[in-house]
């Protein structure tokens, strides 16, 4: 049995993951719902205040959930799995609303807080961007050149979906404009990027494998 603890001051609420393992986590904006992706491909939503499961999808993906993200004012939960698919779910009841297909695994996924933009980083150095829940890609952006063996391991999206940040195993961080699909800035990191997060419209945070955290502001 594997157990996960949620802390609130000095109290903790424990829930049982049975015989699987949590591989991805994301929390709602109000910190009242925790969404959990598991090794067996299942996803469930947990009410933190009530200590109860809200909904569960046993077969969300046929392989483990690699990453989760929220988009569209918290109405969509985006999941990426080892089966190369990205899927969108209603956060209220777990109903599937869209499916987006990749040609490679997706180590990183992000969504725009206030827009219907979904971003995925792939194992072959590309960033895929979708808009308005359509299955067709809006952009395929080249974080690295074709033929180079680098992965995009961290992506982040500004709240309104206008800017994207991508970090990879090539120790580069790029900023992109989703209106034009153009690269607007590049930052040389100290190590491979492991995570990225938008702190505001033009302010991003990037974490590296060596433990360094960089705060980057776009000048646009």
What sign results for the dihedral spanned by CA atoms 186, 187, 188, 190? negative
pTM score, two decimals?
0.83
- Strand arrangement, sheet containing 22-27: 22-27, 33-38, 43-47, 52-57
Q: From the first residue on, what is the mean pLDDT of each consecutive set of 10 residues in the chain (220 residues)?
A: 46 58 89 92 92 92 90 92 84 90 77 90 90 85 81 93 94 95 92 90 92 89
pLDDT for 129 equals 93
| Per-position b or e across 37-52, b if 16+ CB within 10 A of its CB | bbbbbbbbbbebeeee
**Overall size of the chain counted in residues:** 220
In the chain, the domains with their CATH numbers are 1-101 (2.40.10.480), 106-220 (2.130.10.10)
pLDDT for 136 equals 84
């Amino acid at each position: 049995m594997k157990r996960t603890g949620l802390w609130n001051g000095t109290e903790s609420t424990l829930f049982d993951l049975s015989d699987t393992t949590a591989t991805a986590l994301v929390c709602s904006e109000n910190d009242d719902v925790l969404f959990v992706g598991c090794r067996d491909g299942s996803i469930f939503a947990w009410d933190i205040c009530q200590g109860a499961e809200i909904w569960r999808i046993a077969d969300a993906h046929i392989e483990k959930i690699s990453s989760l993200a929220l988009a569209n004012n918290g109405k969509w939960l985006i999941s990426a799995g080892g089966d190369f698919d990205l899927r969108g779910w209603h956060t209220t009841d777990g109903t599937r609303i869209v499916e987006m297909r990749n040609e490679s695994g997706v180590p990183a996924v992000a969504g725009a807080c206030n827009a219907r933009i979904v971003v995925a980083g792939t194992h072959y150095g590309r960033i895929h961007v979708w808009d308005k829940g359509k299955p067709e890609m809006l952009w395929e952006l080249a974080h690295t050149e074709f033929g180079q063996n680098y992965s995009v391991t961290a992506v982040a999206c500004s709240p309104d979906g206008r800017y994207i940040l991508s970090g990879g195993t090539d120790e580069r961080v790029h900023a992109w404009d989703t209106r034009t699909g153009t690269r607007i800035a590049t930052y040389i990191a100290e190590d491979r990027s492991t995570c990225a997060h938008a702190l505001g419209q033009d302010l991003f945070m990037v974490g590296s494998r060596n433990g360094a955290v960089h705060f980057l502001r776009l000048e646009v």
